[in-house]
Structure 1
Amino acid sequence: MEMEKKLTESIEDYIETIYLDFSQDNRGVRITDLAQAMGVSKASANDAVKKLKSLGYVEHERYGQIYLTDSGEAMGIKIYEKHCIITKFLNQVLDVSPKVAENDACCIEHIISDETFEKMKAYLKDNE
């Protein structure tokens, strides 16, 4: 099995934000709106978009809208699924409050191993 290149926490957050907030109905996002959603400067958002484009996760023409590519959307789905499963596990299995579970999942989703994540997912499925 080929190892997938590990993305930085920041890049994962950008992909997840674009996926959740802007990719519905194939709606693109402007740098200004992305920067605001991420709580960063336009320059920082622009740098991240350049990186995302070089990795093949977004399409972006200068001064145009930003769209997830097919691989960007697949990565967005994967990142968001991980976030949801971890949140659910923390809340339902460990009885962590919803707000804390949500915040912790945001941190854990970037560092959790595939093995641990798959075990969490299987546990939740087996105990539904």
Structure 2
Amino acid sequence: MQSTAAEDYVKAVYHHTEWQSEPITPSQLATRLGLANSTVTEMVKKLSAAGLVHHRPYGAIELTDAGRALAVRQVRRHRVVETWLVERHGYDWDEVHDEAEILEHALSDRLLDSIATSLGDPVRDPHGDPIPAADGTVTRPDAVLLASARVGHEGTVVRISDADPAMLRFLAEAGVALDAPLTVQGQKPYSGSISVATPTGQVDLGPDVAQAVWLSA
């Protein structure tokens, strides 16, 4: 079973556990994909029958080896395309996700590999997410979530979630970009905001942002 829908489902399952270990539930998957729970339940049954996921009723969803291989293939395609759009076509990092969602299903393996070669075989996309190698190898940087970083932690930004384009634009204006050095200066326990020093000055980041930025550990 290898349809566009199957590729999108296994990729969404992969994304959920890429930067944390808790497996995804059917309701979380439905939210991530913007679909009804009943639609996701039926598709998960098909994916399970095809040997792409493990799932028991009312339990979490986990990828099989075959499902992970398919997910990694799609993740590579998506992130190579995002990098290509930014580096060769002038897209901003907050504009590439939707374009890549379409193009990742349309490109042949030969063209994708050619694009990757022309880019110098990049190892991360514009948001810092690792680009799997052609053989499926994935190397993730050692990182700590900003929300979990202690006061005084110094590190460079290694990953920023691309789930919210408006947040990406805000962070770019605030000087929080890939490889930017940040120092956690203080935490405000009641508001949930975190004060950080950036190359352009000090900025307070809310809890949603703190859950979207990873620093070198």
Q: TM-score range by the shorter chain?
A: 0.7 to 0.9
Offset, 1:126:
6.7
What is the aligned partner in structure 2 of residue 22 from structure 1? 17
Task: Verify: 1:99 aligned to 2:100, yes or no.
Answer: no
Q: CA RMSD in A?
A: 2.0
Write the mapping of 1:3-42 to structure 2, written as runs, cut at 5 A: 7-22=2-17, 26-42=21-37
- How has the CA–CA distance of structure 1 residues 29 and 126 changed in structure 2, closer, same or farther, with 3 Å as cutoff? closer
- How far apart in 2 are the matches of 1:126 and 1:46? 37
2:24–2:62 Cα contact (<8 Å) kept = yes
* 1:64 CA displacement: 1.5
The percent of aligned pairs where both chains have the same amino acid is 25
TM-fit CA distance, 1:26: 5.0
Aligned pairs, how many?
122
Letter in 2 for 1:79: Q
**Residue ranges of structure 1 left out of the alignment (5+ in a row):** none
Q: For the structure 1 residues 65 and 95, does the alpha-carbon distance in structure 2 shift closer, same or farther, using more than 3 Å as the test?
A: same
Q: Secondary structure at the match of 1:12?
A: helix
Runs of 4+ in 1 over 4 A off after TM superposition: 23-26
**Correspondence for 1:114:** 109
Q: Which has the higher contact order (CA 8 A, sep 6+)?
A: 1
Q: Distance in 2 between matches of 1:42 and 1:84?
A: 28
Structure 1 residue 8 displacement after superposition: 2.1
Q: Which runs of 5+ in 2 are unaligned?
A: 123-217
The residue aligned with 1:63 is: 58
Deviation at 1:12, TM superposition (A): 1.1
The amino acid that maps onto 2:46 is: K
The answer for the alignment partner of 1:51 in structure 2 is 46
TM-score (normalised: structure 1): 0.85
TM-score normalised by L of structure 2: 0.52
Do the aligned partners of 1:23 and 1:68 also contact (CA within 8 Å) in 2? no
- Relative to its length, the structure with more strand (as a share) is 2
